[in-house]
Every structure is written in structure tokens, then in C-alpha cells.
Amino acid sequence: MPIIRMCGVEPESEVTAACLEEIAGGFCDRFRLNPKQLTLVWNPLQPTQMVVNGRACSNAEQGEPPILVDLLLPDCNEQTTIELMLAVLADLIAEGMQVSVNQVSINCQLTQSDMVYDNGSVVRW
């Protein structure tokens, strides 16, 4: 059920389907998830569509823009597991997108059973 939504200004190396599959596959392998349970989305932005520290990313002085990530997880995971998932996902994204891990910013949101509708029904765990 994990859902990973990523957005940011396209890094210098193009984000390909193979790159996204590598990130998703690495996450599934590390946490023994069925790949059919994971959704990963990449939404590229133009530099004029992101403001960081009060300045548009199209400004040359801005530096490397962040990759913003929303990670939606079931609330049945323990805190130590969530922290490990955050670190592993940051490393996978940095490696796959060829950016510094310091550019990856992840916000984790936990959801309760019966609060997700997927594949034609309400999901329970």
C-alpha cells in the first residue's frame, strides 16, 4: 500500500521509467513488499514552478533544488521501521536520480485502516 509521490525540478540526468522502477524495486526488495502493493509517481516541475527559500529555482544563485517526496504508509508500521524506510528511500532516490541525498526531502504520512480506497474497494489491514 505504500504510495510515494515525488516532485521537483528535473535533475540534470533525465528521470526515466527505468530509474523509477529501480527506486520502486529497491524499496520493495529492502522491505519485502509485493511490487503490486507499491505506487510511485514522479511529477517534474519547471524551474519557474518551484520557490525554495523565497527564490524561484530558475534563479542561478538558488543552487540545486530539492526533490520533494510524500510517503504514505499504513499506520501499522513501528517507528524504527518508518525511520529506516525514510533513510532507505532517500538513498534510493539520490542514487537513482543522481542527486545529493541532501536534496531529498521526505514527508511521511500515516493512514489508518479503512481510510484508503484502492483497486475497487476500501483497504483494511
Q: How confident is the model at residue 29 (pLDDT cuts 50, 70, 90)?
A: very high
Q: Tell me: the pLDDT tens digits for 38-92?
A: 999 999 999 889 988 888 887 656 678 899 999 999 999 999 999 999 999 999 9
Number of domains into which the chain is organized: 1
Instruction: Identify which of 90, 71, 12 has the alpha carbon closest to the alpha carbon of residue 44.
Output: 12
Strand ranges (E), 2-123: 3-9, 39-45, 51-52, 55-56, 67-74, 104-111, 116-118, 121-123
Model pLDDT, residue 54: 86
Q: Where are the alpha helices (DSSP H) in the chain?
A: 17-31, 79-97
Model pLDDT, residue 1: 85
Grid coordinates representing 65 are 533544488
CATH of the domain at 101: 3.30.429.10
> In terms of residue numbers, what domain contains 117?
3-123
Grid coordinates representing 120 are 475497487
Model pLDDT, residue 13: 82
- Say whether pLDDT at 94 is over 80: yes
- Say whether pLDDT at 25 is over 80: yes
Q: Is 111 helix (H, G, I), strand (E, B) or coil?
A: strand
Q: How far is CA 99 from CA 7, 19, 39, 46, 119, in A?
A: 14, 13, 22, 17, 34
Model pLDDT, residue 21: 97
Grid coordinates representing 88 are 532507505
Q: How far is CA 96 from CA 19, 20, 85, 109, 113, in A?
A: 6, 8, 16, 23, 31
Q: Please, which residues bridge with residue 33 across strands?
A: none
**85-89, 105-109, 113-117, range with the lowest pLDDT:** 113-117
Query: Mean pLDDT over all residues of the chain?
Result: 93
**Integer Cα distance of 53 and 51 in angstroms:** 7
